[in-house]
Structure 1
Amino acid sequence: MLKPVKEVGGFFAMSLDAFVAIFKRPFALREFIFQTWFVAKVSLLPTMMLSIPFCVLVVFMINILLGEIGATDASGAGAALGTVNQIGPIVTVVVVAGAGATAMCADLGARTIREELDAMRVLGIDPIQRLVVPRILAATLVALMLNAIVTMVGLVGCFFFSVYVQHVTPGAFAASLTLLVGLPEIIVAMVKAMLFGLAASLIACYKGVTVGGGAQGVGNAVNETVVYTFMALFVINVLATAVGLKLAPQ
C-alpha cells in the first residue's frame, strides 16, 4: 500500500525539482539539442506512417455516415475535427512514448545502475538539471512539432482518400475544413500535444533515475514507462478535451 504512494510522491517531487531546475543556469544546451534531434529522428517516420491510416480510417467512417444523409460535401469538416482534435495529439504521444520515452528511460536507467548519477552528485553536478531537464524540454518540443506534422499529413491523406476513393468533390472538401475547426481548436490541440510530451518525458525520466535491480530492472522500467504513459495519456486527453470544449465551444 505504501509503495504506490511513495512512487507517486517521488514522481511529483522529481517533477517539481525539474521545473525549478529549468530556470537555473547554466542550461545544458548541447544536451538539449542532442536529445531533440534524437527524439525527432526516432519518432518522425513512425509518426507519419501512423497518421495516414488513422486519419483515413476516421474519414472513411465519417464519409459513410455523411453519405447516408446526403451531406458528403461536409466531409472536410469531419476530417479536420477528428485529425486536429484527437488523432494528431494521440498519434504523436503514442510514437513519442513508444520510441523516444523508452529510449530516455533506458539511457538514464543504464547511467543509474552504473552509478554515474551518484558520481555527478559527488562532483557537485545536479543530474536533474544536467540530464532530466534537457530531455523533458526536448520531448515537449518534439511532441509539439510532430503534432503539426501529423495534422498536415493526415489532412492531405484524408483529402486524397476522400476525393479519389470515395469521390467527394475536392472544392467541397477544402471549403468545409474550417466549418468546425479554427484557431482555438488548433491551439487546444497544440497544448494537448505539449502536455502529452511533457507527461511522457517526466514518467520516462523518473523511472530511469529511480531504477534498481541491474539490467533486469532497466527492462522493467522501460515496460512500466510505456504502460504508465498510456494511462496518463487517457487521463490527460479527457481533461484537456473537456477544458478545450469549454474554452473553444463548437
Structure 2
Amino acid sequence: MAVTQMPPEEQRTESSAFEIVRQNFSGTAGSALRTFGRGVILGVESVRGAVADIARRKFNVPETLHQAWFFISVTALPAILMAIPFGVIVSMQVGNLIQQLGADSLVGAASGLGVIKQGAPMATGLLLGGAGAAAIASDLGARTVREEIDALRVMGISPVHRLVIPRMVAMLLVAPLLNVLIIFVGVTAGYLVAIGVQGVPAGSYWLTFGSFTTLADVVVSVGKSILFGFLVVVIACQRGLEARGGPRGVADGVNAAVVLSVVAIVIVNLVITQLSAMFIPVRVA
C-alpha cells in the first residue's frame, strides 16, 4: 500500500506557518513579561519614593488631597448604587435557600459574610479599576503625548515623585473608606430586605451576624481593597506614562488600564480567598 506524502511546497508552507505562530507567541509572551516587570519596578519605586518623601517631609500633600477628593467624587455615589442591589440580591438569594433548609435565623450571617468577604472588596476594586484607572491613565497619557513627562525629566523632576506617588497614596486612602461605605450600605440593604420581605426577626438577624462575622473578616476585606487600589494605580500609571501615538494611544492606554485592572483584581481576589479560607476558617457560632 503506497504512503501518500505531502508535496515539498506544502511542507514548507506548513513549517513556515508554524514558525510564524511560534514567533508571535514568543513575542507576545516576552512583551507581556517585560510589561509586568516594568509594572513591578514602578510599584517598588513608588512605595520607596513615598516612604522617602514622607521621611524627608517633601511629600506633596495638596496634590494627594486633590486626587483623593477626585476619587471620592467619582466613586462614592456609584458605590452606594452598586452596594444596594448587591446587598438585596445576596439577601434574597441566600435567604430563599436558607429558608428552604429551615434555618431562617442564619440569614444575617450569610448575607453579612457575603457582603463583607466578597461583595465589598470586589465592588471597591471594580469601581476603582473603572473610574479611577480611566481617570489616571487618561491624565498621565495626555501629559505623555504632550511631552510634559519628558519636560519634567529634562528639568530634573521625577514623574514618579511628582505624579505617581500622590495618586498612589490618594488611592490607598480612598480604597478602605469606599470599602467600609459599601459594607455599611450593603449590609443595611440586606437587613431591610430580610426583615421587610422575608420576615426574619431583626434581633435574630443581628445576633447571627455578630456570631459568625469576626474582626478578621473585616480586616481581610479592608486589606483586599487596599491591595486592589494599589494594583489599579500602578497599572493605570504605567499605561499612562507609556502612552504613544497621540489621542489614539491615550485611548488605547485607558482601555488597557481598565481591562488589566479588572483582570488583576479578579485573579488576586481568587488567590486571597483561597488563602484566607485555609488560614482564617469561617467561625462556627
Q: TM-score range by the shorter chain?
A: over 0.9
Residue 36 of structure 1 aligns to a residue whose secondary structure is: helix
Give 1:108's match in structure 2, choosing from 124, 133, 140. 140
Counterpart residue identity of residue 214, structure 1: G
1:98 Cα deviation (Å)? 1.0
Q: Aligned equivalents of 2:254 and 2:279: distance in 1?
A: 36
Mapped pair 1:28 → 2:28:
no
1:145 corresponds in structure 2 to 177
Give 1:179 shift: 2.5
Matched to 1:5, the amino acid is L
Distance across 2 between alignment mates of 1:227 and 1:193: 18
Which residue is equivalent to 2:164? 132
Number of residue pairs the alignment of both structures matches: 250
- Identity rate of aligned residues, in percent? 34
Tell me which of 61, 65, 78 is aligned to 2:93: 61
Q: Where do 5+ consecutive residues of structure 1 fail to align?
A: none
CA distance in 1, matches of 2:220, 2:84: 21
CA RMSD after TM alignment: 1.0
Cα distance between partner residues in 2 of 1:60 and 1:29:
44
**Paired AA for residue 116 in structure 1:** E
Q: Is the 8 A contact 1:105 1:222 kept in 2?
A: yes
Question: Separation in 1 of the partners of 2:189 and 2:122?
Answer: 17
- Work out whether 1:83 is the aligned partner of 2:83: no
SS at match of 2:152: helix
Is the partner of 1:109 in helix, strand or coil?
helix
Q: In 1, distance between residues paired with 2:137 and 2:65? A: 18
2:29 matched to 1:6?
Answer: no
Partner secondary structure for residue 70 of structure 1: coil
For the pair shown, which has the larger CA radius of gyration, 1 or 2?
2
> 3-state DSSP class of the match of 1:168?
coil
Q: Give the stretch that moved more between structures: 137-146 or 238-247.
A: 238-247
Asked if residue 219 in structure 1 is aligned to residue 251 in structure 2, the reply is yes
Which residue number corresponds to residue 48 of structure 1?
80
Extract structure 1 runs of 4+ deviating beyond 3 A: none
Shift of 1:6: 1.9
In structure 2, what residue type is equivalent to 1:194? Answer: I
In structure 2, distance between residues paired with 1:145 and 1:169: 30
Look up the match of 2:45.
17
User: Cα offset for 1:130?
Assistant: 1.0
Q: Kindly indicate whether the alpha-carbon contact (under 8 Å) linking 1:80 and 1:178 is maintained by their aligned counterparts in 2.
A: no
1:157 corresponds to which residue? 189
Q: Tell me, what secondary structure is at the counterpart of 1:249?
A: coil
**Counterparts of residues 191-210 of structure 1 (less than 5 Å):** 191-210=223-242
Q: Which moved more, 1:1-10 or 1:216-225?
A: 1-10
| Aligned partner letter, 1:230 | V
Please tell me whether residue 181 in structure 1 is matched to residue 213 in structure 2.
yes
Instruction: State whether residues 27 and 130 of structure 1, in contact with CA within 8 Å, keep that contact through their aligned partners in structure 2.
Output: no
Post-superposition shift, 1:181? 1.1
Cα deviation, residue 243, structure 1: 2.2
Cα distance in 2 between the residues matched to 1:101 and 1:148: 20
Deviations 1:93-121 (A, max 9, x none): 11111111110110000011111111111
1:175 Cα deviation (Å)?
0.9
CA contact (8 A) 1:54 1:87 kept: yes
**1:246 CA drift (Å):** 3.0
CA–CA distance in structure 2, aligned partners of residues 8 and 74 of structure 1 = 44
Q: Does 1:92 align with 2:124?
A: yes
